Amino acid sequence: MAKVVVIDYGIGNLLSVTRAFSAVGADVELSNAHNAIRDADRLVLPGVGAFGDGMRGLQQRGLVEPIRDFATRSRPFLGICLGMQLMLDESEEFGHHEGLGLVAGKVAKVPATGIDGQPVKIPHIGWNALHTAGRNNWDAPILKDVPEGSACYFVHSYMAVPSEPQSLLACCDYAGLQITATLGQGMLYGCQFHPEKSGKVGLKILENFTRL
């Protein structure tokens, strides 16, 4: 059985995330112990709320370096919603904040208007379909057996903008805007949407993660 450590740093849908992993057969541990994070087989960083609050929660618990250390060891890592955004270098949300720097890029505000110039609703809330972000095929292991066009549940006002195009695995369309839905770099993955709230599609993505 896959062992998954979910990081408890005071922010996130911890119960929903742990229940979802249990539903796909994972052995789940909720922890903020440094050794548990460094030695995990698979590590998950959930999160809801503001970027600055998330980084403070990690810093106050001394978790930044254990997470960075884990990320250098070629083991599966998954950031969910705010957790994905924290993987990047920096964010402009309510000022400038340094991120974990696991994936090159920044976090920017979702534009207030669509490509037609009309206002869009912020935050972006609700179900939206996943697309290949200009790739010729749907080849990311975390998206295995997830049909393109599958819908997942989003709640966010800011979005990840990875520096390297190959880090963008899937996107969604919001009023003609391309929003990063899934990113990946090596064994590091992130989902802007909430897989734990995305029904069978979300559970399949979590199952794929446990099999990496």
Residue in this structure with the two tokens 């340094």, named with its chain if needed: 98
152 an active-site residue?
no
194 an active-site residue?
yes
Distance between CA atoms of 128 and 126, rounded to whole angstroms?
Answer: 7
DSSP calls for 141-182: GGGTT--TT-EEEEEESEEEEESSGGGEEEEEEETTEEEEEE
Q: Which of 97, 124, 156, 194 is catalytic?
A: 194
CA triplet 4, 13, 167: central angle to 5 degrees? 65
Residues counted in the chain: 212
Q: Which of 81, 152, 171, 191 is catalytic?
A: 81
Distance between CA atoms of 55 and 14, rounded to whole angstroms?
Answer: 17
Distance between CA atoms of 146 and 138, rounded to whole angstroms?
Answer: 9
3-state DSSP call for residue 25? coil
191 an active-site residue?
no
Spell out where 46-187 has E strands. 77-80, 90-91, 97-98, 105-109, 124-129, 151-156, 158-162, 168-174, 177-185
Distance between CA atoms of 124 and 178, rounded to whole angstroms?
Answer: 12
Residues serving a catalytic function are: 81, 194, 196
